[in-house]
Amino acid sequence: MNKEILENPMNVQKEIEDKNIDEAETFCKLLLKCPFCEGSIIKRGLRKKKYETVQRYYCPKCNKSFISAITKNKTYPLKIIMDSVTLYNRLTPLDKIPDVIKERYGISITSRIISHWLKEYEQYIPFLRMREFASKKYYKKEFIEETKLFHKQIYNFKYHRAKLDLILNEEFRHYRFKPLQEFLELAIAECPHQIFQNSTKRASDYKSIFNLDQVKIIKKENTAVKVANFITQAISNNKSRHEILQEFMLINDTVTIATEIAILINSEDIRHLKYELNFEIPIVLEDEEYITGHIDLIQIRNGMIHILDYKPSASKEKPIEQLTLYALALSRLTGIRLYHMKCAWFDDKNYYEFFPLHVVYKLKKSRKRIKSIKLE
């Protein structure tokens, strides 16, 4: 392992962001377009393997059929591979994982096979290189905080205590996000569940209310897309895919620190944002009214807090209002400036990003004084 990484685990973040992603893209591209001619592909039936049934694809342009490169020549289902590497990054001893898999799926594997998977799928599980440092400071039961929130529907709140601790303490520019850690530590004990159960206003219900003249929505390449594409190979059900994607990113990447974070904002918050910070927020709430929501994923990377929302058809969505309200609420709950936050939505093909500050705070055009100069 790289000596620099051993000395500072947070170098993993930089390495992952700058790393050549050719291998990861090889896996992803095969599902999005034909690996032979790069033409558009369609689903064409299923192929039955020893332990699972996988999707077959067909390319009308070159008249070829194929399956995903991720599942090709694999004896074991991708879901078992994903569960095995995730269990390992949850600090389950390597020799205990086969017993867990046997109990869950009735399929026998060995520790040697799991070791091979950890190397083969290393690009999807970069936390592997932070695992040693985190495990020295935290026991398994302290590693991750998680609970179910019964807020009209069930939300699986999870908070990676060990990862956030490394992120905050190993890089100076991230230490300013300490209030986020304090908020997450108290989230379970202090969450006002009754408000979430009774609230009729949800952040996701607000559409087209903000002036977006100064808002740039940037389409970017991001590891979240590659991971979502990876998960898509194993999970066909949209609801299950959503939850498994959240779990996989939280446990296995180096930047996701929490999932399904309950947030709320009330009339007092709105007034403060409008009249103290001069934010343009075209929302009026009565006293005792709240806007509530649950953030899919929170990440810390490159000196910013990133608020992410998984949308199965991202290119057809534009959840600016929803994500901006999430950011405003998180800012009020933690005291962290909106300036330090970015929002994004993504699926297995696209990732769209914007600054929530640009949604609510408009720069006023300065009037330039034009002086006439007389030449003599």
Range with lowest mean pLDDT among 32-41, 157-166, 169-178:
32-41
Provide the angle, in degrees to the nearest 10, between the axes of the packed helices 111-120 and 97-105: 90
Is the separation of the CB atoms in 62 and 35 below 8 Å? no
Query: Which tokens in the block code for residue 107?
Result: 């399929």
SS3 342: strand
CA distance 337 to 310: 24
In angstroms, how far is CA 197 from the centroid of its own chain?
25
Written as one letter, the residue type at 169 is: N
Q: Is the pLDDT of residue 41 over 90?
A: no
Contacts of 272 (CB under 8 A, 6+ apart): 332
Tens-digit pLDDT profile for residues 285-335: 999 899 999 999 999 999 999 999 999 999 999 999 999 999 999 999 999
Range with lowest mean pLDDT among 27-41, 209-223, 247-261, 327-341:
27-41
Q: Taking residues 257-280, what's their average pLDDT? A: 97
With a pLDDT cut of 90, the percent of the chain lying above it is 69
Is the separation of the CB atoms in 249 and 351 below 8 Å? no
CA distance 19 to 15: 6
pLDDT at residue 20, as a whole number: 33
Range with lowest mean pLDDT among 151-165, 199-213, 282-296, 355-369:
355-369
Is the separation of the CB atoms in 142 and 161 below 8 Å? yes
CA distance 360 to 210: 7
Of 139-143, 156-160, 170-174, the range with the highest mean pLDDT is 156-160
pLDDT at residue 28, as a whole number: 34
Q: Find tokens 């067909």 and name the residue.
A: 58
Comparison of pLDDT for 190 and 29, the residue scoring more? 190
Q: Is the pLDDT of residue 60 over 60?
A: yes
Contacts of 287 (CB under 8 A, 6+ apart): 267
Confidence of residue 85 (pLDDT cuts 50, 70, 90): very high
Q: Taking residues 97-107, what's their average pLDDT? A: 95
pLDDT at residue 226, as a whole number: 94
Q: Taking residues 234-254, what's their average pLDDT? A: 90
Average pLDDT value over all residues in the chain: 87
* C-alpha distances in Å from residue 187, one per residue of 170, 181, 260, 323, 360: 24, 10, 11, 20, 27
Is the separation of the CB atoms in 167 and 184 below 8 Å? no
> What is the pTM assigned to this prediction?
0.82
Q: Max CA-CA distance within the chain?
A: 95
CA distance 145 to 224: 22
The number of beta carbons lying within 10 Å of the beta carbon of residue 58 is 15
CA distance 252 to 254: 7
Q: Is the pLDDT of residue 278 over 90?
A: yes
CA distance 290 to 325: 12
